[in-house]
């Protein structure tokens, strides 16, 4: 497995794990919010509870996992070594977690100081991570679509935070720009220029490696990250110049680019050489189909904007893209990364004398499969809640909580088994 990760360059096990184990808890809090507040959360996407829910999911779950994963894989997929990974992980994790909680609390309870303190912590957290990542990538040539994608994704993250801060200032002091247009742009940068570009960059490596599919063809792989980032810049210019037709054009082209990526990945998956599908490939397949459906809604709304204005339409789109799409990719990856890291560290502890247990012993496929059913039920319930918030919202909150608690349980089981095996290995090593 050294081909996947060289141990000397690997950060300590708890550096990425602290992010991976915290992320599902934010999803549980989001589910709890939906359970307690019910339909009120889903009546308008601009309601304080809806904004809190969105940020608990995007900052607390998604950003948490993406930063944790980047700390782990930057040396492997880009040959870029972060300085002091343990300290970086501790600081970024603490400020990101507290910042996301304060921001969400600030929205729900309308406490401005909490909102502003949360935002300040988040700016610090992301800013510190960005500077560390840029320093690690400095001098690393963009020799593959993955490295170029990661660099552009970091630019996307910068754009997202910048727009978030601008929105907060605009809410306080007013602006000549449309707040709706700015908020959509902020979401566009976060989901398109950051999340989609990063996921694609990582997919180029992990889909062929773990699912034994053919590789992504070079030309589209090189151009996807540039195209997505360029379209977000176009969208921003269009908001700046207040040209609605250009905004719709950028959104439509973004949707088409994302759909092409999903279709290509599904085609590669259909040609995989691994006979048996595992939890990760099932999660990724679901993610690709759900994202494709979400993006076809985005394309339709770009053509007929009246649809995009409907609350139910926006919530259905968000459920398919975030819960069905991005969450599925991330959980699928967690199910590969967490057992693998535990295995790798056990292998190291064995010092060549004791062989580490297989990854299946650290997390059996059946445990992941059962949680996958809960995840699918959660998506269906969220989708129903988007259409029928009156009776569906609380049930969907419960579904979200259950699915992510189960994920947390599975991940903690890996940690427990890791500890047991580690003490067994320590006991059977020959001294000296």
Partner 1 sequence: MTHPKSANVLDARYLEPPEPFVKTMEMLATLKAGESMLLLLFREPHPLYRILLQDGYRYRTEMLDDGTFEILISR
In the complex, which residues of this chain contact partner 1 (CB under 8 A)?
A: 1-6, 8-9, 75-79, 143-144, 146, 204-205, 208-209, 212, 214-219, 221, 273-274
Report the residue number, 163 or 338, with the smaller CB distance to partner 1: 338
Gap between the Cα atoms of 232 and 224, Å rounded: 12
Report the residue number, 169 or 212, with the smaller CB distance to partner 1: 212
Report the residue number, 26 or 340, with the smaller CB distance to partner 1: 340
- Tell me how far, at minimum, the Cβ of 384 lies from partner 1, in Å: 39
Report the residue number, 75 or 99, with the smaller CB distance to partner 1: 75
Running DSSP on this structure, what letter comes out for residue 309? T
- Tell me how far, at minimum, the Cβ of 320 lies from partner 1, in Å: 28
- Tell me how far, at minimum, the Cβ of 142 lies from partner 1, in Å: 11
Gap between the Cα atoms of 210 and 339, Å rounded: 13
Report the residue number, 22 or 144, with the smaller CB distance to partner 1: 144
- Tell me how far, at minimum, the Cβ of 218 lies from partner 1, in Å: 5
The tokens for 188 are 């566009």
Gap between the Cα atoms of 320 and 287, Å rounded: 9
- Tell me how far, at minimum, the Cβ of 97 lies from partner 1, in Å: 30
CB atoms within 10 A of CB 89: 24
The tokens for 39 are 């339909």
Running DSSP on this structure, what letter comes out for residue 47? S
Picking from 142, 112, 131, 141, the residue whose alpha carbon sits closest to that of residue 204 is 142
Please provide the distance, in angstroms rounded to a whole number, between the alpha carbons at the two ends of the chain.
26
Report the residue number, 221 or 298, with the smaller CB distance to partner 1: 221
- Tell me how far, at minimum, the Cβ of 2 lies from partner 1, in Å: 5
Gap between the Cα atoms of 48 and 351, Å rounded: 53
- Tell me how far, at minimum, the Cβ of 122 lies from partner 1, in Å: 30
Phi, psi (rounded to 5 degrees) for 356? -70, 150
The tokens for 118 are 């949360």
- Tell me how far, at minimum, the Cβ of 404 lies from partner 1, in Å: 28
In angstroms, the Cα distances linking 190 to 71, 157, 275, 372 are 19, 6, 36, 26
Q: Judge whether 122 and 103 are in contact, CB under 8 Å.
A: yes
Report the residue number, 4 or 123, with the smaller CB distance to partner 1: 4
Report the residue number, 83 or 173, with the smaller CB distance to partner 1: 83
Give every CB contact of residue 231 below 8 A, 6+ residues apart in sequence: 192, 250, 253, 254, 257
Gap between the Cα atoms of 119 and 415, Å rounded: 32
């Amino acid at each position: 497995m050294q081909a996947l990760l060289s141990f000397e360059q690997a950060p300590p096990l708890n550096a990425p794990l602290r992010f991976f184990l915290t992320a599902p808890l934010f999803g549980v809090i989001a589910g709890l919010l939906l359970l307690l507040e019910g339909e009120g959360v889903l009546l308008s996407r601009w309601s304080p509870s809806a904004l809190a829910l969105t940020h608990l999911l995007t900052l607390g779950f998604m950003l948490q996992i993406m930063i944790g994963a980047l700390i782990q894989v930057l040396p492997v997929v880009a040959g870029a070594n972060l300085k002091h990974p343990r300290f970086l992980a501790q600081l970024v994790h603490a400020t990101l977690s507290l910042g996301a909680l304060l921001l969400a609390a600030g929205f729900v309870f309308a406490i401005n100081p909490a909102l502003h303190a949360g935002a300040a912590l988040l700016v610090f957290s992301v800013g510190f991570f960005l500077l560390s990542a840029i320093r690690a990538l400095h001098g690393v040539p963009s020799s593959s679509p993955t490295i170029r994608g990661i660099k552009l994704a970091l630019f996307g993250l910068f754009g997202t935070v910048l727009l978030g801060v601008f929105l907060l200032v605009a809410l306080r002091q007013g602006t000549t720009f449309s707040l709706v247009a700015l908020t959509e742009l902020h979401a566009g940068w976060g989901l398109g220029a950051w999340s989609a570009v990063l996921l694609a960059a990582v997919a180029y490596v992990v889909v062929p490696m773990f699912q034994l599919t053919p590789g992504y063809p070079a030309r589209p792989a090189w151009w996807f990250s540039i195209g997505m980032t360029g379209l977000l810049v176009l969208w921003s210019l269009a908001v700046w110049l207040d040209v609605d037709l250009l905004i719709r054009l950028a959104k439509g082209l973004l949707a088409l680019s994302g759909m092409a990526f999903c279709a290509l990945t599904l085609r590669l998956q259909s040609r995989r050489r691994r006979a048996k599908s595992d939890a990760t490939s099932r999660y990724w397949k679901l993610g690709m189909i759900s994202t494709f459906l979400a993006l076809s809604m985005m394309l339709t709304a770009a053509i007929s904007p009246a649809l995009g204005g409907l609350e139910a339409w926006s919530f259905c789109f968000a459920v398919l893209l975030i819960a069905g799409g991005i969450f599925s990719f991330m959980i699928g990856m967690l199910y590969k990364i967490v057992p693998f890291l535990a295995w790798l560290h056990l292998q190291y502890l064995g010092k060549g004398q004791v062989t580490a247990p297989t990854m299946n012993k650290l997390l059996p496929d059946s445990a992941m499969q059962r949680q996958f059913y809960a995840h699918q039920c959660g998506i269906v319930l969220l989708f129903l809640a988007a259409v029928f918030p009156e009776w569906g919202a609380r049930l969907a909150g419960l579904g979200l909580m259950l699915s992510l608690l189960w994920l947390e349980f599975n991940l903690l089981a890996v940690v427990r088994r890791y500890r047991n095996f580690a003490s067994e290995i320590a006991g059977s090593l020959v001294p000296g």
